[in-house]
A and B are shown apart, each in its own frame.
Chain A
């Protein structure tokens, strides 16, 4: 049976038997770096194409269909075009911050990749505070956006960056509370343990109504945190031209664009891990036969299937819902999502203490 764990174990033992342990560690780091950069490049191409295709089909259109079969090479062609364009730095800009911002946003995205389990035993770093690490590091991306907005020396960029700051600071709360409500059930912050605790069913089903409510709140909050429509206040092309990346061009713009999609992938991977069991196949209680059949599907397919399902859901939101104004956005968070998620957390704590979950 195909398994990524077998491949990594094989590579690991081969490296350590043929090299000194220091060299082997360096080589392993290099392999991990190459793999994550490769994953980023592929995800950027695939998700942008997926977004355009999903958007087109929801608006009764066809989407890209000229470059390559069914338009599959469209995003590759777009990337080539962006590579060839000049990465202009405006005269009035703060040169260091302006050029640093796209890299900061990419580095943040790469850091969050560390604790995510892509398949059974296929994880870069299984640290014991995995979920906390993700929520802490993901807040750094707002600094990159503020850097870009401030360094551009442009009122639109500045407004977009400030809005993004207000938005991410607000929605971090309800995203954190909905994550905590799952942590209450598992009693652990470690990603591998959270996945292991869902061996007899996913938390979305095991945690009754409070889990469903926190799942919905999590989806809303991460949509806002990744600055996507209907919460695209930072970009707001109808009001602020392109928000914080108005002044960026060429590959520097492409990095911001890529980081948006990478962030969507990562938050959806976290959502899939917490609520839908990560790489864990669909198991139902004590149905041994059913569970055994589900185990035949490789765990990587389960993980990517769930993640892409959540990504599709977020794209569905984007192409259906009307955009919010900035005051409506903050109203929604502080008057609705935060009280509801606090109450929900209380309910979840009661469920966990009384042992009402399965």
Chain B
């Protein structure tokens, strides 16, 4: 029957539209459901695995765990990391490779996490900081190892 179908069409259409209006109307009258966070005053609680930037943790003695193996440099898909190595003389006269500068180009980084997964000594990790705006692009090229730092004893 054509008329029956027609009325059923109108009825189901109106019913589904009213269901939608009930949902948005409920949101309108319950402001407690608003999920917006007022950013500069209240900062969002970030997840543990949030990737903000690559950092190299140093301990109290200004020591890090980077051996300068360049695994991260090789793993990086966009050439974000550049490791400059030097040769240290050990007290017993042996020569040992160590890092001179760990260059990190934040402006090229896509936070893919591949460098952190490639690192055999867990020397680098992702930080939670996401406010990277600066006035000069050069300030985004960072040196991750601190001045005067050296490799922690026992890390090979």
Contact = CB atoms under 8 A, between A and B. Distances in A.
Q: Which of B9, B21, B23, B38 has the most CB of A within 10 A?
A: B21
A60 B34 contact: yes
Contacts of A60: 27, 33-36
A62 B21 contact: no
A320 B24 contact: yes
A336 B20 contact: no
A116 to B, nearest CB: 28
Interface string B7-29: 00110000001001101110110
A54 B10 CA distance: 28
Given A316-B21, A321-B17, A57 B28 contact: yes
A62 B36 contact: yes
B23 to A, nearest CB: 8
B34 A320 contact: no
Given A60-B35, A62-B34, A336-B10, A321 B27 contact: no
Contacts of A54: 28
Contacts of B17: 320-321
Contacts of A319: 24
A199 B23 CA distance: 36
A241 interface: no
A317 B20 CA distance: 9
Given A321-B17, A336-B10, A316 B34 contact: no
A321 B34 CA distance: 20
A319 B28 CA distance: 11
A321 B18 CA distance: 10
B31 A57 contact: yes
Contacts of A59: 27
B24 A316 contact: yes
Contacts of A316: 21, 24-25, 28
Contact of B36 (A58, A61, A317, A336): A61
B28 A58 contact: yes
A340 B23 CA distance: 27
A210 B28 CA distance: 30
Contacts of B23: 320
A199 to B, nearest CB: 32
Contacts of A321: 17, 20
Interface string B23-65: 1110110010111101000000000000000000000000000
A319 B21 CA distance: 9
A319 B27 CA distance: 12
A353 B38 CA distance: 61
A341 to B, nearest CB: 13
A209 B100 CA distance: 85
B27 A57 contact: yes
Interface in A317-338: 317, 319-321, 336
A61 B31 CA distance: 9
A282 B35 CA distance: 38
Contacts of A336: 9-10
A38 B45 CA distance: 47
Contacts of A317: 21
A57 B20 contact: no
Interface of B: 9-10, 17, 20-21, 23-25, 27-28, 31, 33-36, 38
20 contacts: A57-B27, A58-B24, A58-B25, A58-B27, A58-B28, A60-B27, A60-B33, A60-B34, A60-B36, A61-B36, A316-B28, A317-B21, A319-B24, A320-B17, A320-B20, A320-B21, A320-B23, A320-B24, A321-B17, A340-B10
**10 smallest A-B Cβ distances: which pairs?**
A58-B24, A62-B36, A320-B24, A320-B20, A57-B28, A320-B21, A61-B36, A58-B28, A60-B34, A60-B33
Interface of A: 54, 57-62, 316-317, 319-321, 336, 340
Given A57-B28, A60-B27, A60-B34, 10 more contacts: A57-B27, A57-B31, A58-B27, A59-B27, A62-B38, A316-B25, A316-B28, A317-B21, A319-B24, A321-B20
